[in-house]
Each structure stands twice: as structure tokens, then as C-alpha cells.
Structure 1
Amino acid sequence: MSLTGTPFFVLTVVLVVVALAALFGLWNRIPGPGAARLAARFGLAVLSQLTAVVMVLVYLNNSMGPFYDSWSDLFGGSTTVSDTALSGNNGHHGGDGVAPGGKLTFSSYLPGVLKTRTVGASSGIEGSLYVWLPPQYHDPAYANTDFPVVELLPGTPGTPQAWFGTMKVQDEMSKLMAAGTVKPMIMVSAKLNVLGGNTDPGCADIPGVARTATWLSRDVPALIRSNFRAAKAPSQWAIMGYSAGAYCAVNLTVQHPDVFGSAVSLSGYNTPESPLVTNNLGLSRANDPVYQLKHAKKQPPVSFLMGGSLQDQGTVPAAKALLAVLRTPGDSRLVTVREGGHTPTVWREMLPDALTWLSARTSG
């Protein structure tokens, strides 16, 4: 039974009803000595509370994320990583990083949103992709147009479909295109939490663990270009994320300016937090965008939109800190909101500014 499916949620509701019925129906009918009756009543009360908590958590997971897409995502061990990828043989099957015949089969997730599951040829990571194509993509007038692409990253824990569920980026794009403030762009949301459970992959290539950075910066762009009319120039590719995904967006742009020309950070941070990364000084510094920019002989020609909430402690200072190390800020800038914590409400509020800025950067 699927973790995010309606049948499982209905089951949790039924269990709550059964537990409450048992609590009230058996409260005065429990036989035995006083201590035994007290223990049984306590057990029934705890059971009713636990079932209610599970029901609420399942509802929140389904409606605000999902944070966990499957049982393996929740408990870990959700990632398939090839032995060749971990051993250093990239599993590379061609010059473009795509396995032979890298055409994917997509199904519908939401109106206008496609989904698929694939294995990255270079990373060996099995991950899901969700793609939104602007209406112009199917317009004969745009038949020869290669569209700019924005890669979208969730937080940790989190799933890629949250961008089209909770964040509703496709609705915001439609509004802004109708208003003429944003040009058509392909939106692709990729799996970030490749290790499952609460294990943060650190947006890095970690020897013997997983090559998350390779999956996001090499495999995903190659797969999108192989299956859609997607632009090839780095200036027409951008990456945006919130929370841990925001850190990852900036980190990948600093490391791979040959892939991404701009990045948007919504309530992100600057230094790696995953123990898998921080336990290795060299790996930690390699995945610290502020450190890399500060010590670069020549900073990459990329730009950043750094966002945060004044009530979300640390996000605005982190954004200002990264912008401060840019020797040539160019189009980079700060966007803030006055109220709100580390929540999708804040990220949705910053979305119109972010998409407008991205459109101007990627329009070519």
C-alpha cells in the first residue's frame, strides 16, 4: 500500500475511529483488578492518541509535500546506485552522459506535469523527474524553439513533486506568462534526497555513498536535453531550491558554471550540514560555495538571487554573506520578506520575484 495513496490515508482514519470507539466503549467494561483496569485504560488512551498522530502526519505528508514519497524514502534504502558509479567508473555510456537510447517514458502526474523514473548514466542513481512544459512548447509557432530550463530542488526531507503540489510553481508560471512578465521556461524537478529517510546526501559526490552532484548537474540536464527541446547554453539553464535545495542550487552553480548560469536560493544556507560531508574537511570545503568563491582566482560568470525571511533566523544573513563575496555582483541581488518562518508560505511569496528574475537571466 502506497505511503501517499488515498487508501492508506483512509486506513489511518478508520484506525482512529476504531481506537476511539474502543476507548469509550470499553472504558467501563474492562474486567479484572483495579491496577489491570487502569493499565488497560491507559493503553487504550495511548493507542487512540498514536493513531490520531499517525493520521495527522500522513495528511501533512500528502498535503504539504510530500516529504516522503514512499516507504523506502521514509525508512531509507530508497536509492539504487550502481557498483560502477561508486567505484569511480562513471557508468558513462556516451559523450552526453545518457545511456544508449536515453529516451524516457513519461506519464501524467498533474495537468501539464509529466513524471518518470530513471537511472542516471553517470551517477548510477535511480531517481524521479517531474517536468512542466509551458503551453508554447506545443504551439506550432515554437516548433523550432529550444526553451530555457529551470531545475528545481526540494528541501530535506522532501520530494521533487512538492514543487508542483505544495509550491504550485506551474500555476505561478502561468499567471506571470499571462501578465507578460515571464517568458516560457521548462521546469524540471529532480530527486534530491537520494539516500531516503532523514539522511541528507549533502548535495555532493560522496565516495562509496552516492554521487548526488553528478546526478543533478550531469545526468538530469543530459536526460532533459535528450527528451525535450531544451536549450544547451549554460546561460539558459538555471537552478532553484528552497531550504537544503537552496544551498544545493548555489553550490552546484558555483561548481558547475558550465551547466548553470544562475541560481535562486529561497531560505538557504551557505555551508554543508550533512555529516557525510562535514566529516571530511576537503569534501566540506569543496562544497562550501562561499569558501570556493572567496578563494577562486577568477570567480565564475554566474549570478544569484538570494532570498530569505527576516523572521527565519539566519537566512537573510546567509544570503547577504554570499552576495558579499562576489567581486562582480552583476545581476545578483537580495530579496526578503518581512514575516514568516521556514515554510512553503514564505517560499511561495518569493516565487514571483524569483521566476521574473530567472526569466530575465535565461531568456538569452
Structure 2
Amino acid sequence: MGLTSNVVLGSAAVLAVVLFALTVRWWPRLARGGPRAVLGRVGMLLATQLALFVAVGLAANKSFLFYGSWADLLGWERQPGVVVDHSAGSRRVSVVGTRGVDVPGGGRPAVGGQIQEVVVAGEKSGIASPAFVYLPPEYFQEGYARSRFPVVVVLTGYPGTAENLLKGLRYPQTASGLAKDGKTQPMVLVMLRPTVAPPRDTECVDVPGGPRTETFFAEDLPAAVSETYRVGTGARNWGVMGNSTGGYCALKLALHHPDRFAAGAGLSAYYRAAEDLTTGDLFHGDEAARRRSDLLWSLGHLRQGRSSFLVTTSKRGEGNLKGTLDFVAKVRTPARVSSITLDSGGHNFNTWRREIPPALEWMSGRLSAG
């Protein structure tokens, strides 16, 4: 049974309830004096709390998909050998596998589109990262055989996995439905996590002597995708969006690289690079690099390009309301900014699922095909 299965979660919840009931029933017996009674009380309390902790942990993992399997949780996951499909891949993108999209007719690419599992090799950064590429149905239709498509890079948060974007946030299904309803143009989605040097959270920074994460996303990824798929190569053809850490990275990439990305959307984003145990020393004393990673500082001190920005927050439940208002106030022409402010909504998948459809519509309106 898989780590994220309903059976495992249900079993853990039932066990916690049963142990609680047994503790209540047997407590009068265990209330007596003596070492055996004391050990019994300690054992029942520990067992009940452990079962409750496991149930809550499994529920959180199922919702946020921090770990996809028992092997992933226990650190036993090892990178498998990669079978490269040269007919579908390129020098810098290896296609590992394909899957259908969970929509009506999803088994046929020309009807439901296709999701390709790939590994992207960055020439300048030296980083290789797994990703999912969603190709819309039009990509496989004869009428679009000579067409090039706009691209949206979609980033999850930290420490999430790219599977979050497929299962938890359902980006391909949402993009498919919006395009079918005529609310967006067909777009290619390149979905991955910002943690391209796991387990370190590099905050999309070029770390001195370490992972060159910003270079990977700003230069290597667009170059690799452009040579592999029928997509546009100009800034007007590319956007980037994400949630939480991915949202911070999306805004930073669009702000620092308007020649690469015409639009950046940050869902529940924060506005300066985190520095903690998960990041390590990102700047090695380089104060200029630290200031540059602060988006509010960058807006106030660096020349703003023609990128468009979308930021989201809520009046109750998010901690980024003030930062979001400050970001909006600092954007100047030729840049443009839009926002989504919910009445309430926490830093979670439910909130982001409410924001993704309008964010994709906004993104579609700012990108060009071909």
C-alpha cells in the first residue's frame, strides 16, 4: 500500500481512534499503583499519541505530497537509469516516459494532450533536473503542425515535489479545461520544483561555489525546452508562475530577466530569499547579491523591464499581505502589475486551487504564440 493511499490513511486514523477508546476503557485498571500500572499508562499514552501523530502526518503528506512513496520518505529512493527516447527528446532534454492527462479522452494526445516526464540538463549551470512537460491537444493536431506555442514554467513550493503540480494542484487538467472553454490559448506547461539541488533550498539563487539555480531557470531551461519542442523563443512567448517558494522564484525571474520572461505570477509568494537551515549560506557575505534577492529592494533600485507581474494574497490567512501591497506600490512603467486578494485563504493547496484558473487566464493574456 502506497504512502499516499486512502487505505493507509484510513487505517492509521482507525488505529488512533481504537487506541484512544482502549485507553479510556482500561484507564481505571491502569490507575492502580505499582510499576506495571505505571508502565501500562505510559505505554497506552505513547501508543495513542504516536498513532495520532502518524495519522495527522499521513493526512498532511497526502494533501501536500511532500513524499511520494515509502522509499522517498525513508531516504531509500535512488535515481534510476534513464531510458532516452531520442525521437522525442533532444541533446538537453531526455524523455523518460509519457502519460495521459486525466481529462475526457486523455488517453489520446490529440484529444486530451500528453504529459512527458523529462530530465533537463543545464549546460551553463551544470544542473540536471526532472520535470513534467504538458503538451496541449493542439500540439498533436494536424491543423497546428506548423504552430509554435507559448510556454509557462510552473514551480511548486519547498519542499514539495513536481507531482504536487499534477495531482494536488491539477495544472494540466485546469489548463486543458480553460483552453477548451476558450478562456486561454493552448499553452505548454513545464512543471518542476525550484529545489534543483535537493535537499538544499537554493531560493533560485546562483550560490557562490554552489548550485547556479538562477542560471538554470533563466538560461538553461528556456534553451533546452526551445530546442526540443515547438515553442516560441522570445520573452513574449514565456511566462513563469508558482506558489510559495515557487512564487518568489517566479517573480524574481520575471523581474531580473525581462528579456526571458514576459510575465511572472507569484501565488502566496514572499519577497526576499529565505536564509535558514534549509538554505545554508546563500550569499557568502556578498551584500549586493543579498539585496538583489530582495524583490522590494530590486523594484526600488534596479531598472524595471517590460515584464508583467501577478501577485496573490488574502485579507485573512496569509502572512504576505503587507509585502504584496508594497510590491504592487513599487512597480513602475514599463512594468505592469495585477493582483488577486481573497477575503480569506491560508497558505495551502485549497487557496492555490482557487487562484490557479484566473492566474492561467491572466498569463495567457500576456503571452504570444509563435
Global fold match (TM > 0.5): yes
Contact map agreement 1:99 1:121 (CA 8 A) in 2? no
Shift in Å at residue 329 of structure 1?
A: 5.4
Answer yes or no: is 1:220 the counterpart of 2:218.
Answer: no
Structure 2 equivalent of residue 86 of structure 1: none
Shift in Å at residue 236 of structure 1?
A: 0.9
- In the superposition, relative to structure 1, how do residues 109 and 192 fare at CA in structure 2: closer, same or farther (>3 Å)? farther
Name the CA distance, whole Å, in 2 between partners of 1:126 and 1:2.
27
Contact map agreement 2:19 2:44 (CA 8 A) in 1? no
Letter in 1 for 2:66: F
Which runs of structure 2 are paired with 1:94-173 in the superposition (5 Å)?
A: 100=91, 102-108=93-99, 111=102, 112-173=114-175
Which runs of structure 2 are paired with 1:281-300 in the superposition (5 Å)?
A: 281-296=287-302, 298-300=303-305
**Cα deviations by residue, 1:313-333 (Å, 9 ceiling, x for unpaired):** 442322222222222055422
Structure 2 equivalent of residue 262 of structure 1: 263
Letter in 2 for 1:106: G
Structure 1 length as normaliser, TM-score? 0.80
Contact map agreement 2:120 2:224 (CA 8 A) in 1? no
Contact map agreement 1:2 1:71 (CA 8 A) in 2? yes
Structure 2 length as normaliser, TM-score? 0.79
Which runs of structure 2 are paired with 1:170-189 in the superposition (5 Å)?
A: 170-189=172-191
Shift in Å at residue 136 of structure 1?
A: 0.8
**Cα deviations by residue, 1:113-137 (Å, 9 ceiling, x for unpaired):** 3323454333333422012111111
Letter in 2 for 1:250: L
Contact map agreement 2:94 2:118 (CA 8 A) in 1? no
Secondary structure at 2:96's aligned position in 1?
Answer: coil
- In the superposition, relative to structure 1, how do residues 21 and 181 fare at CA in structure 2: closer, same or farther (>3 Å)? closer
Contact map agreement 2:136 2:187 (CA 8 A) in 1? yes
Gaps of 5+ in 1: 81-97
Structure 2 equivalent of residue 312 of structure 1: 317
Structure 2 equivalent of residue 35 of structure 1: 35
Gaps of 5+ in 2: 80-88, 103-113
Letter in 2 for 1:343: N
Shift in Å at residue 16 of structure 1?
A: 7.1
Name the CA distance, whole Å, in 1 between partners of 2:71 and 2:238.
31
Name the CA distance, whole Å, in 2 between partners of 1:258 and 1:166.
32
- In the superposition, relative to structure 1, how do residues 12 and 54 fare at CA in structure 2: closer, same or farther (>3 Å)? farther
Shift in Å at residue 359 of structure 1?
A: 0.6
Answer yes or no: is 1:325 the counterpart of 2:330.
Answer: yes
Letter in 1 for 2:61: N
- In the superposition, relative to structure 1, how do residues 320 and 214 fare at CA in structure 2: closer, same or farther (>3 Å)? same
Contact map agreement 2:194 2:204 (CA 8 A) in 1? yes
Letter in 2 for 1:137: Y
Name the CA distance, whole Å, in 2 between partners of 1:78 and 1:196.
12
Letter in 1 for 2:160: G
Contact map agreement 2:246 2:269 (CA 8 A) in 1? yes
Letter in 1 for 2:203: G
- In the superposition, relative to structure 1, how do residues 255 and 155 fare at CA in structure 2: closer, same or farther (>3 Å)? same
Which runs of structure 2 are paired with 1:189-268 in the superposition (5 Å)?
A: 189-197=191-199, 199-268=200-269
Single out whichever of 136-145 and 307-316 deviates more from structure 2: 307-316
- In the superposition, relative to structure 1, how do residues 15 and 321 fare at CA in structure 2: closer, same or farther (>3 Å)? closer
Letter in 2 for 1:165: K
Single out whichever of 327-336 and 161-170 deviates more from structure 2: 327-336
Structure 1 equivalent of residue 108 of structure 2: none
Letter in 2 for 1:323: V
Contact map agreement 2:273 2:294 (CA 8 A) in 1? yes
RMSD, aligned α-carbons: 3.5
> Percent identity among equivalent residues?
31
Contact map agreement 2:318 2:345 (CA 8 A) in 1? no
Secondary structure at 2:340's aligned position in 1?
Answer: strand
**Cα deviations by residue, 1:11-66 (Å, 9 ceiling, x for unpaired):** 99379749957995996999xx822332244124313431342243224313x231
Contact map agreement 1:149 1:231 (CA 8 A) in 2? yes
Structure 2 equivalent of residue 84 of structure 1: none
The count of residues paired between Structure 1 and Structure 2 equals 341
Contact map agreement 2:312 2:340 (CA 8 A) in 1? yes
- In the superposition, relative to structure 1, how do residues 264 and 227 fare at CA in structure 2: closer, same or farther (>3 Å)? same
Single out whichever of 299-308 and 278-287 deviates more from structure 2: 278-287
Name the CA distance, whole Å, in 2 between partners of 1:17 and 1:154.
33
Contact map agreement 2:306 2:335 (CA 8 A) in 1? no
Contact map agreement 2:92 2:122 (CA 8 A) in 1? no
Contact map agreement 1:238 1:263 (CA 8 A) in 2? yes
Secondary structure at 1:210's aligned position in 2?
Answer: coil
- In the superposition, relative to structure 1, how do residues 288 and 76 fare at CA in structure 2: closer, same or farther (>3 Å)? farther
Name the CA distance, whole Å, in 1 between partners of 2:53 and 2:77.
25
